[in-house]
Copies of this chain bind each other. A is one copy, B any other.
Amino acid sequence: MTSLGEFGLIARLIRGRIQPASTLLGPGDDAAVVAAPDSRVVVSTDMLVEGVHFRLDWSSPEQVGRKAAAVNIADVVAMGAMPTALLIGLGCPPDTSLATVEELTEGLWAEAGSVGAGVVGGDVVSAPQIVVSVTVLADLGGRAPVTRAGARPGDVLALAGRVGWAAAGLDLLAKGLGTPPEVVGAQQVPCPPYLAGPAAALVGATAMIDISDGLLADVGHLARSSGVAVDVRSAALVVPAPLREAAVALGLDPMRWLLTGGEDHALAATFPADTALLTGWTRIGVVREGTGVYLDGQVHDGAAGWDHFASA
């Protein structure tokens, strides 16, 4: 990789890429220029570190690139915005193969392309291990951002996307298991319901959050920001067959994955009670006066990452 040098490497990584119309000036100058038709830009950044957030014996470079893009895109769609552009800061050891860097970048482009965004810039530097830092820009299309703070008593809580899959996949990988493949795959690359975010904003979501830490933990963040209590109804959470299979293989309770597993980047949102929920959204609870998160009316105390967000 070093034989190419930084300039040669960057040229390789952007060669032949097609930028969307929102990329007014792409990579190659001191900075890029991206359209912001709304006159506001939604922006978020996340960093993934080899050995901490991913392992190259568990994930391919292409999967790491997809995941790095996905965790960022999930953050801006959770505000109700549409992604326009990604930037990547990539640190890698000097002996990293060009193929590894190209595959990682391929994954980033693929995930960005799935939402119509371009990769408009980046920086490639030497580092002792692979570090991927992604920033995503997004446009609100004239809508107000959907924060975590707008939930009101009487709203319903709804969920879009999968929960528990990535955590189950991690438990399988930690035991050296490769099946069910769709569960392991969920740990390697999340599959966030990107369009459900802007769609929820369009029908009047009052609050929304990207579930990165676990359903109960993140609904707890939403409840705290909104100054409300949220009741989650476990009966609304159906354990999918592959997670049931994984739970049997590992001798675990699959509901723990659904309630506390992170990294799937589902979306949780609250809506006025009379909202007709869009396809892809499932009602899983209600908002009421008070503080904290409850499971079936009880303060939940059985799961890691949960206790310190609750208050009765």
The SS class assigned to the A binding surface is: strand
Q: Does A75 contact B (CB under 8 A)?
A: yes
Least CB distance from A136 to B in Å reads 8
Least CB distance from A90 to B in Å reads 7
Report A103-147 residues with CB < 8 Å from chain B CB: 120-123, 125-129, 131, 133, 135-138, 140, 145, 147
- Is A43 in contact with B123, judged by CB distance below 8 angstroms? no
Q: Does A189 contact B (CB under 8 A)?
A: no
Q: Does A31 contact B (CB under 8 A)?
A: yes
Least CB distance from A205 to B in Å reads 13
Q: How many copies does the complex hold?
A: 2
* Shortest beta-carbon contacts, A-B, top 4: A133-B133, A36-B36, A47-B89, A31-B44
Q: Does A95 contact B (CB under 8 A)?
A: no
- Is B87 in contact with A31, judged by CB distance below 8 angstroms? no
**How far is B95's CA from A293's CA once the two chains are assembled, in angstroms?**
32
Proximity bits, A32-72, B CB within 8 Å = 1, else 0? 11111111111111111101110000000000000000000
**How far is B42's CA from A25's CA once the two chains are assembled, in angstroms?**
9
- Of A46, A47, A125, A145, chain B has the most CB atoms within 10 Å of the CB of A47
What is the interface residue range for chain A against chain B? 35 or more
* 19 examples of A-B residue contacts, CB within 8 angstroms: A25-B147, A28-B225, A29-B79, A29-B145, A29-B148, A32-B43, A32-B44, A33-B40, A43-B87, A44-B121, A45-B88, A45-B122, A46-B123, A47-B90, A47-B91, A47-B133, A48-B125, A87-B135, A123-B133
Proximity bits, A79-107, B CB within 8 Å = 1, else 0? 10100010111110000000000000000
Q: Does A24 contact B (CB under 8 A)?
A: yes
- Is B89 in contact with A133, judged by CB distance below 8 angstroms? yes
